[in-house]
Structure 1
Amino acid sequence: MSAGGGTRPADPRGGGAGPVSARRISVRLRLTLVYGSLFFAAGVILVLVNYFFVERVISQTVLTAKPGTMFRSDGPAIPIPLDADAVRAVAVTKETYRENVMTSMFRWSLAAVVIVGCVGLVIGWIVARRALAPLHTMTETARRLSESTLHRRIALDGPHDELRELADTFDSMLGRLDRAFDSQRRFVANASHELRTPLAIDRALLQVSMTDPELPRPVRRVGAELLESNTRQQRLIEGLLLLAQSERELTDRRPVDLAELAGSALTSVPEAVADLRPARVEGDPVLLERMIGNLLDNAVKYNDERGLVVLRTGRDRRGSVVTVENTGRVVPGGRADDLFEPFRRLDRDRTGSAAGAGLGLSIVRAIAQAHRGSAEARPRPDGGLQVTVRLPSAP
């Protein structure tokens, strides 16, 4: 299976391979931290301002004295003579009083800041949840969207603010996408009829005309070439229509065993070596059987004289697996994934040959992605290709 075609690389969200990114802090948590930090900052500033003014008030109003002076205590005016020892006692009492007041105020203020900050974190968590609720609604709606559910809308209620404007813009975009997909479905249905019918008529006319025993040999040769060209065109059109159908979202999923489908597909390739183990998935049995059939067809078309074709089914930690490998030409490592592109072949022939239309692996990957799976190709060291399709296992 050293040639074929394919679609876009697998989406990392849809099961394709990709680096695992580190867990990022959510917007809600960041907003909560911002709100809590603001509460803490405001509380610390309030404590510092309060500390400054209380210290000044105490320094200005608490009793002060000098040696040889007289002063009045509270109550009636009573002159009290002060000596040096009394002045020292007053100074010590004043300092002790100031330290006790300021220390107690600082401790209780810090405790109040911590309590208010924790309350601010809780309030910030709740406020952030309410503020981000419209965004969560839009995210869930976008996550549930598919080609068959584009009729859904966010229809966000509330004031006409920035979030409401974003939701209305998203709804407008969904409307345009819905109309575009509906137009595409109609085009595929019409093309299926308009393209197949003329080719079928041309083929019938050619076959009838070729039955004339008096037909000259050169004309017969031209007729045979026309029939071969007609066959290639039919194969190309059927492949394109199947590719368009495969890229659509599946609306009907049923439990099916890939091993059973592989057994049915093997009837057309009796020379293949099979190792079929249970691999249950949920999907469209017709498309899945066509996917396995395309893998086997490519393995036979692009084989060499060794003629090895191996088909395996089974399960691993990441899901159910179908693997087909064959012998053939040596495929450069950097070219393997290019074979999934439509009309892409190893020898860069894009004109359509008897070997096929270049859509085999394109259809394989499209069907895999429609089933939320992935398809990847890996060259074999001695020539040929190993193609692995991995799909989510059925519960």
Structure 2
Amino acid sequence: MSVRLKLTLSYAGFLMLAGVLLFAAVWVFLLRYVPERALITGTTTNGVFPIRFNLLRVFAPRAAAVLAFLLVFGLVGGWILAGRMLAPLTRITDATRLASNGSLSHRIRLPGRKDEFRELADAFDTMLARIEAHLAEQQRFAANASHELRTPLAVSKALLDVARTDPTHDAGEVIDRLHAVNTRAIDLTEALLLLSRADQRSFTREPVDLSLLAEEATETLLPLAEKRGVTIDTSGDITPTIGSQALLLQLTMNLVQNAIVHNLPEQGIVWVNTSVSPKTVVLTVENTGEKLTPQLVSTLTEPFQRAERIHADHAGVGLGLAIVKTITQAHDGTLTLTPRSAGGIRITVELPAMSPHADR
């Protein structure tokens, strides 16, 4: 039985029950409260007689006729009302079928006042919009990843072809270039695997102190900063949170490394700060550098987005901030990128603070 038929039978059954109860109440009222003399109809050859027993014979057929009318009225009216009530559900079902067939651009846009069906339709439209945006992002990411992986493979093939056709070519130079290309391909593959792992949230959560991770990242990257003439200033408070220590360390390393690499040619500065509030912990990495526009900054977390500020001698694989964004989202946090008026960028990662009783 369909839902519409069930609702129709429910309406009709309820109407019939109400009618029976009403007639039963009328009958009880007549038998209990109407005086005996009010039920005297006349005289016969045998004299005056009560017709209380005749009342049932008169009342019952008319009550049955009314109940039959109520049954037909309930079935027809219930069918119409059920159809009107379930019409929004039909639109939602049609949209679901379209989505299951791959049409994610369709939206229900249910009109009318806000009720349970309207809330369901709006939630479904929101879900479709997110799925469509996520799918488009995944397709764009797959296309970019294929292009990025194809480049080192094409370069390796070209180097091997040169070495094969020109035996007099310096083999050491070919080997060095092949090593560099292969290293870049490995770095890109590892970055893709890390991005996938963070996106799927397939990690164990444990207590983590962001301030300790910030210290570890700055100590590890200090030789790179000294090589580039960049000063790192670290400060802040103990910032306890819950998450993957390995992923959050990778997040911090990416931020500090980007701040070092994308800095002034000389006398650059990187500020690393941690702070805590009742509900969140904050990691802020700020650096000097070229002036950036808000439009450019808004694209830096896209995969393989290097922009014009990336130096050729340390181009990376174009996934640094994309990995930071994914790790932040996997930890239910927020990532904010803001260009500094004096040049450079300020990147803020805000994560939920660890509850004082979380480790108990």
Give me the TM-score of the superposition, normalised by structure 2: 0.48
Q: Which has the higher contact order (CA 8 A, sep 6+)?
A: 1
